[in-house]
Amino acid sequence: MIFDSENFSHQDTTVATLLSGWRLVEQNEYLFTKSHQHVSYYPKIYGTCGSFYLTEYVPPDLSYFPNFLITKEVSWNMRVTVAMEILNITESMDKNFHEPLHFCDVKVWNYGISPVGEVKVIDTDSMYYESDLTDTMGKLNCTSHEHCDFNDCHGFCVLTTGKCRPQRTNNNLQKICQDILSDDPKNFFAGLVHNPPTDLSYRITTLVQECANPDGSHGILSKARSPTPAVYYHKLRHILQKSLVLYKTTQNAHNKYV
């Protein structure tokens, strides 16, 4: 590129602007979030400056997942409310777009909670529409199923051909149950629905485990390679809603005699 010495400053600024703008649009997370500003559970983008962009402040609240570093614990009522919001978000990803949207990096700190209690997905770098994900999977070579995995989006290796099948084997709901709702290393062995009300403890724990392990696989290192049936959205909402009623009744009875 040849610069005119008299207009060097202007040209230099223009080039810098173009380069910073290019660096911005190269960020998948920015592009995805920007193109989904109409969706309530993605953070709002307020503006950009060069290759940086400013979003609303929606930090993860790890007090919902207490561990040896965090002793504060929120109530069952609050935890179940957040759990049901995450279930709603997950089902929306399955149904409310032109094709299913896959979240391939499910972690407790990838969800934020606003000051008014809104749950939002704050890490969109690993969001893929189904056609993009399966097209990429189908181009991979493999000698084991793990070679076909995209983080939490598990694949399947056809050992006779050494190629990955263009298909995700688990689904978003399975990972939400495993890594968010149930006790798991990713949530410090304290999932959102840990310590449920005694009267419903067995039913809730069993249902969450069925959801997390649809193919019967168990153990810390197990990787489910079957999708959780969509009926578990209804089953989980029903039992969690029932637990809220029980929790409020118990709290009211307790307060009455305090």
Supply the range of the domain harboring residue 84: 59-137+170-256
Residue 129 has a pLDDT of: 97
| Residue entry with tokens 């290393």 | 185
Max intra-chain CA distance, the chain: 85
Asked if the structure places residue 146 within a domain, the reply is no
- Is residue 68 situated within a structural domain? yes
Does residue 233 share a domain with residue 193? Answer: yes
Rounded to 10 deg, the angle between the 201-212 and 231-256 helix axes is 150
User: What is the model's pLDDT at position 14?
Assistant: 63
Domain annotation covers residue 196 = yes
- Quick one: how far is CA 218 from the chain centroid? 21
φ, ψ of residue 52 to 5 degrees: the values are -105, 155
Does 122 fall in a domain?
yes
99 & 24 share domain: no
The pLDDT score that the predictor gives to residue 1 is 41
Burial status of residue 187 (CB atoms within 10 A of its CB: 0-12, 13-18, 19 or more): buried
pLDDT at 117: 81
- Contact 75/63 with Cβ under 8 angstroms? no
Q: Are 236 and 87 in contact (CB under 8 A)?
A: yes
Give the model's pLDDT for residue 189.
74
Q: Is residue 3 part of a domain?
A: no
CATH number of the domain residue 67 falls in? 1.10.510
Residues 33 and 79 in one domain: no
Contact indicator for 205, 243 with CB cutoff of 8 Å: no
Long-range pairs of 49-58 with CB within 8 A, sequence gap ≥ 24: 50/20, 50/21, 50/23, 50/24, 51/20, 51/21, 51/23, 51/24, 51/27, 52/24, 53/24, 56/114, 58/112, 58/113, 58/114, 58/118, 58/120, 58/122
- Asked, for residue 47, whether it belongs to a domain, the answer is yes
Q: What is the pLDDT of residue 252?
A: 65
Cα gap 240→131, rounded to integer Å:
33
Residue 208 lies in a domain: yes
Residues 132 and 14 in one domain: no
**Do 112 and 56 touch, CB atoms closer than 8 A?**
no
Q: Are residues 105 and 179 in the same domain?
A: yes
Residue 48 sits in the same domain as residue 175: no
pLDDT at 116: 82
39-84 pLDDT, tens digit per residue, is: 999 999 998 888 888 999 898 877 776 654 555 678 899 999 999 9
* Token couple for 180: 């968010």
For the CA atoms of 31, 34, 37, 43, the dihedral, rounded to the nearest 10 degrees, stands at: 90
- How far apart, in whole angstroms, are the C-alpha atoms of residue 74 and residue 83? 13
Task: For residues 65 and 50, state if they share a domain.
Answer: no
Continuous H helices in 104-213: 130-137, 172-176, 201-212
Mean pLDDT by 10 residues, the chain (258 residues): 48 56 74 92 90 87 63 81 96 97 94 88 94 97 96 96 97 96 79 91 95 76 81 98 88 60
Same domain, 116 and 205: yes
Is there a single domain that holds both residue 25 and residue 125? no
Q: What is the DSSP letter of 102?
A: E
50 and 176, same domain (yes or no): no
Number of structural domains found in the chain: 2
Domain co-membership, 52 together with 77: no
pLDDT of residue 164: 98
> 239 in a domain, yes or no?
yes
* Residues 119 and 192 placed together within one structural domain of the fold: yes
